[in-house]
């Protein structure tokens, strides 16, 4: 009897301490869940849904990737994002896209997408695509020159880059299996973080003098 009372008391405590919303479902429960980007009332992993009555049919279509980006940047490249923030109709669907344009010699510098696998197609030109394996692979660099019409695959979380090896502009379109794949640009993260990584940490990790680290920090003080 005492054991039953203890169990009942424990269950009641769990109920009172549990979050107000416990229900979930791995599959969609409606046709679309257009992101309410201004929604503040509920904190969720993603965005709450607009009422279907407020969702016009333009959430199914986008022309944002139709126009090339301005490649007059320090990297000689321009990324046009089409994630949930730019295309709210992708909310809960686990998909998004980017377009990247390159000037001759332009690069999409080493970076990581922490929340998504990436698959891409080169639309124009020739790009050196490099994917860096983890320590388990011996830090192996997998690379190939990918030409117009050819595709490439980058597993989630692996560092990678693209570099225009052609004499003319190049472009690619990539897709992700996340509405918000995230991005970690390695140079910017190391040398342009806020607040900065302490210089002694970087001098030890990179095995260089403090002056080299400070020079690199000055290059990324204003971001990309």
Annotated binding site for Mn(2+): 111, 113, 118, 160
The CA–CA distances, whole Å, from 150 to 68, 73, 119, 159, 172 equal 19, 26, 11, 20, 10
Measured from the Cβ of residue 58, the count of other Cβ atoms closer than 10 Å reads 10
Cis (ω within 30 of 0) for the bond into 195? yes
Task: Give backbone dihedrals phi and psi of 208, rounded to 5 degrees, phi first.
Answer: -135, 170
The CA–CA distances, whole Å, from 119 to 129, 147, 149, 153 equal 12, 15, 13, 5
Look-up: residue for tokens 């690069």? 107
Question: Where is the binding site for oxalate, in residues?
Answer: 98, 108, 113, 118
- 21 sits in the region (left: phi over 0; alpha: psi -120 to 50; else beta) called beta
Question: Where is the binding site, in residues?
Answer: 98, 108, 111, 113, 118, 160
Q: Can you tell me the distance from the alpha carbon of 160 to that of 127, in angstroms, rounded to the nearest whole number?
A: 12
Q: Can you tell me the distance from the alpha carbon of 78 to that of 56, in angstroms, rounded to the nearest whole number?
A: 30
């Amino acid at each position: 009897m005492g054991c039953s009372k203890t169990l009942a008391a424990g269950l009641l405590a769990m109920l009172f301490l549990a979050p107000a919303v416990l229900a979930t479902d791995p599959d969609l429960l409606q046709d679309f869940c257009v992101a309410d980007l201004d929604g503040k009332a509920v904190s969720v992993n993603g965005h709450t849904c607009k009422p279907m009555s407020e969702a016009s049919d333009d959430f199914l279509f986008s022309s944002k990737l139709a126009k090339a980006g301005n490649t007059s940047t320090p990297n000689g490249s321009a990324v046009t994002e089409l994630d949930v923030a730019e295309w709210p109709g992708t909310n809960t669907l686990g998909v998004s896209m980017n377009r990247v344009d390159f000037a001759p010699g332009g690069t999409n510098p080493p970076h990581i997408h922490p929340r998504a696998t990436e698959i891409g197609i080169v639309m124009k030109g020739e790009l050196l695509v490099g994917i860096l394996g983890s320590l388990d692979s011996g830090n192996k660099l997998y690379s190939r020159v990918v030409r117009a019409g050819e595709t490439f695959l980058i597993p989630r979380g692996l560092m990678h880059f693209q570099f225009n090896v052609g004499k003319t502009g190049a472009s690619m379109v990539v897709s992700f299996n996340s509405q918000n794949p995230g991005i970690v640009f390695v140079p910017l993260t190391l040398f342009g973080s806020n607040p900065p990584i302490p210089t002694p940490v970087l001098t030890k990790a990179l095995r260089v003098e403090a002056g080299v680290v400070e020079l690199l920090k000055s290059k990324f003080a204003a971001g990309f």
